[in-house]
Structure 1
Amino acid sequence: MSDATTAILLLAHGTPDKLDEMAAYLDKVTGGRPMPQHVIEELQHRYAEIGLRDEPLPEGPPLTHWTLRQAERLQDEIGIRVYVGMRNWHPYIADTVAQMKADGVTHARVLCLAPQNSRTSTGLYRKALESALNGAFSYDFIAGWADEPLLAEAFAERLQPVWAEAGAALGTRVPVVFTAHSVPCRTILSSSGESARPGAPVPADGIQNYGAASAPDPYPVEAKQTAARVASLLELTDADWYFAFQSQGVAGAPWIGPTVEDTLKALAAEGHKGVIVQPIGFLCDHVEILYDIDINFREVARGLEMQLWRPESLNDSATLVRALEHVLGQ
């Protein structure tokens, strides 16, 4: 295959461009399951708090802006065309596949920009891709890259100066809470009864087997493995770091935990006056970071008389781009 007919396709979640698109966007996210009006309004409120308006932002919403920037930087580095397809909003995976076919692409290396493999992310993105392809071109699909050393290095680079700053401000070692997006309990199977301490799978209690698959979803374990790699790079002890799942759904059904809110309460009860929250399941700014952490969790911490720090998101980190290049075998 020549470079002229080979390309890279990055897959991501997608996000609305303006507030009045929220209902249509959520319809895509849920696969057509209606969402209560109060849920739509709550999410509109959260997006408004991070700057989304009734008209599209010139630079686009943060998730779209940074994902396209990551693709641009990667293309500059490897000299191969890099495309972006979103599952739930523009640019849709199907539209990107059509453009790639029109551009003469005959083979693609496909990478999901959710490093930890899950049926709720990677699996759904792959399903959307296969539905859109219809034989347009052949492809290699990279399902998960949670153990990529350069990914951990990129997160550690962001965390290190904040870890030092927080420690200096409070005169003590400040605990780090690594987070990843929660998923519904029904999507996760677990045959393990291990503890939910750092590096261990989510415990079996509270996780229901709905017969959705024949094997455990690797997501909770892979998320904690990424966190453990970052902690190791900064030589954090087991007493220095914790793991929690954030951004549980706002409409019904149980989601996996522990939650960030409960973790912050537990840390405050132990006498901690500060905390660092670093999401390691996200590669760039979006509502789950800019609202859930920067606004909501910071308010929770303030109510517990704690300071909260968050390292800068990876966004267009040069080390992240190197990680993408390495994972893609370029």
Structure 2
Amino acid sequence: MQAVKQAVLLLAFGAPERIEDVDPFLHLVRGGRPAPRELREQMRLRYQAIGGGSPLGALTRRQAEALAERLAGRGWPLPVYWAMRNWRPFIQETLARVKAEEVERLIVICLAPQQTRASLGLYHRRVEQAQADLGLKAELVWATGLHNHPLLVEAFAEKLSPLAAGRRVVFTAHSVPVRLIEGGDNYDEQARGTAAAVAERAGLREWDFAYQSQGSTDEAWLGPSVESVIDGYAQQGLREFVLAPISFVADNLEILYDVDIALRDYALRRGLRLLRPQSLNDSPTFIAALADIALASLRRG
């Protein structure tokens, strides 16, 4: 019996589930600044191309359910909540449930394996603001260490290995503005570290690393770009390769559109076939990684 009522909260970026959600979603992502018409149209077309909306919300719910089941199986039957930074269920809505259910200690896990300080800071501010608005008294414990957890590495390697044999592999992470790295952020180190660990676990002797999904702003974004790596493969005479994203733990627009449609087409026009491992989603090995990270904090409660 727990002396203190504890629970876990999974946090994800959020994504629109329907085409009509795209505009309000962009409004939230941009902090209330109006999105240019061209951007709104572009994003609606992209979400239309992947079926009319993102599966991220449904997949995050499945991850939360699977984690609750895993924790219960390890002797910790407790609630696992989930919330989105930029969409429903909003952080404040979910923390209202936490308060109503009288949780006293909440373990918070951000589902992006690598985080810039700026991005992580936004999660902290959203949670802390909601906590203040609601008068939530629960202790918040921010769990860390996902990017290099052995079971996360194992989960990525499990998905990659069936495709990797005899093929060139390029690992990708979501690009960020160069100014963040120049300011001392260790995001690049974390992303490359995850890739190196997965490559070693999968037994790869040769592999590459690149950044995908650069923003549309005029500032410099972290590279090398995936497109430049694909161009190099074409010049080397390769005919196929594997692109393995390591900064997403569930299918989202950056996977289903940026990789499966845009980058696959870019490669095809240069005579290459792009293969991609399945996303982790509710992979049992990935859920075990989340359970380990949660338990490390729960046991201190």
Q: How far does residue 146 in structure 1 lie from its aligned partner after superposition?
A: 0.8
Contact map agreement 1:8 1:109 (CA 8 A) in 2? yes
Structure 2 matches for 1:246-265, cutoff 5 A? 246-265=212-231
Higher relative contact order (CA 8 A, sep 6+): 2
The partner residue of 1:92 within 86, 90, 93 is 90
Distance 1:19 1:85, change over 3 A: same
Tell me the distance in 1 between the aligned counterparts of 2:218 and 2:85.
23
Paired residue secondary structure (1:328): helix
Paired residue secondary structure (2:295): coil
Q: Which stretch shifts more, 140-149 or 37-46?
A: 140-149
Which residue does 2:284 correspond to in 1? 318
The partner residue of 1:70 within 63, 69, 73 is 63
> 1:37 is matched by which residue type in structure 2?
R
- Displaced runs of 4+ in structure 1, greater than 4 A? none
Consecutive unaligned residues of structure 1, counting only runs of 5 or more, are 54-60, 165-172, 190-208, 210-215
Q: Quick check: 1:275 aligned with 2:219? A: no
Structure 2 matches for 1:1-330, cutoff 5 A? 2=2, 5-52=5-52, 61-78=54-71, 79-134=77-132, 135-136=135-136, 137-164=138-165, 173-189=166-182, 216-237=184-205, 240-329=206-295
Which residue does 2:74 correspond to in 1? none
Q: How far does residue 87 in structure 1 lie from its aligned partner after superposition?
A: 0.5
TM-score normalised to the size of structure 1? Answer: 0.84
> 1:150 is matched by which residue type in structure 2?
L
Paired residue secondary structure (2:114): coil
Q: Which stretch shifts more, 296-305 or 180-189?
A: 180-189
Q: Deviations over 1:284-325 (max 9, x none)?
A: 101100111111111011011011100000011000000001
Tell me the distance in 2 between the aligned counterparts of 1:255 and 1:40.
21
Distance 1:128 1:143, change over 3 A: farther
Paired residue secondary structure (1:179): strand
> 1:117 is matched by which residue type in structure 2?
Q
> 1:91 is matched by which residue type in structure 2?
P
Number of residue pairs matched by the alignment: 288
Paired residue secondary structure (1:188): helix
Tell me the distance in 1 between the aligned counterparts of 2:39 and 2:145.
31
Paired residue secondary structure (1:291): helix
Tell me the distance in 2 between the aligned counterparts of 1:28 and 1:244.
28
Tell me the distance in 2 between the aligned counterparts of 1:315 and 1:145.
15
Tell me the distance in 1 between the aligned counterparts of 2:229 and 2:179.
23
Q: How far does residue 159 in structure 1 lie from its aligned partner after superposition?
A: 0.4
Q: Deviations over 1:236-262 (max 9, x none)?
A: 11xx21111111113433221111111
TM-score normalised to the size of structure 2? Answer: 0.91
What percentage of aligned pairs have identical amino acids? 43
Which residue does 1:205 correspond to in 2? none
Contact map agreement 1:122 1:143 (CA 8 A) in 2? no
Contact map agreement 1:107 1:139 (CA 8 A) in 2? yes
Contact map agreement 1:248 1:255 (CA 8 A) in 2? yes
Q: Which has the higher helix share?
A: 2
Q: How far does residue 95 in structure 1 lie from its aligned partner after superposition?
A: 0.9
Contact map agreement 1:39 1:250 (CA 8 A) in 2? no
Paired residue secondary structure (2:171): strand
Q: RMSD value over aligned CA atoms? A: 1.6
Tell me the distance in 2 between the aligned counterparts of 1:125 and 1:102.
22
Tell me the distance in 1 between the aligned counterparts of 2:20 and 2:58.
19
Q: How far does residue 188 in structure 1 lie from its aligned partner after superposition?
A: 2.6
> 2:187 is matched by which residue type in structure 1?
Y
